[in-house]
Homo-oligomer: A and B are copies of this chain.
Amino acid sequence: MFVVVVTAYVKEERVKDFVEAVLDNARNTRDEPGNLRFDVLREEGESTRFMLYEAYRTKEDFAAHQQTAHYLRWKTAVADWMAEPRTSVKAQSVFFGNGE
C-alpha cells in the first residue's frame, strides 16, 4: 500500500474551519475505490497540530485522489489557514495490519 502522512499546523482561529474542511475531504476520499484509510488525528498537548494518515492501494490511486473535486476543494479552502507549510512523508507498507 502507498501511504501519505501529512502534518499540518493550523492557525488557532481556523481550527474549527480546518476540521470541517478536512472531514469533508476525508469522508469523500474514503469513497474512492483506491483509498483504504483516511484517519484525521490531533496531537496530544498540541491542539493546533493535525496529522492526516492516508493509505491507497497504489501510488496511482493517490495521484487520482489529487484530481478529485473534494481534494481540490480542501486544498483551496485550507491554503490560508496554515500556521506554517504542511509537510508530508510518503511510504510503502511493509505490514498493513488489518488484512485490507
Interface residues of A (CB under 8 A from B): 3, 5, 19, 22-23, 26-27, 29-30, 36-44, 50-51, 53, 55, 89-98
Contacts and interface: CB of A to CB of B under 8 A. Distances in A.
Main secondary structure of the interface of A (DSSP, over half): strand
What's the number of copies of this chain in the assembled complex? 2
A96 B39 contact: yes
A27 B94 CA distance: 12
A54 to B, nearest CB: 9
A42 B92 contact: yes
Contact of A94 (B19, B30, B89, B91): B19
Nearest to A23: B95
Nearest to A55: B39
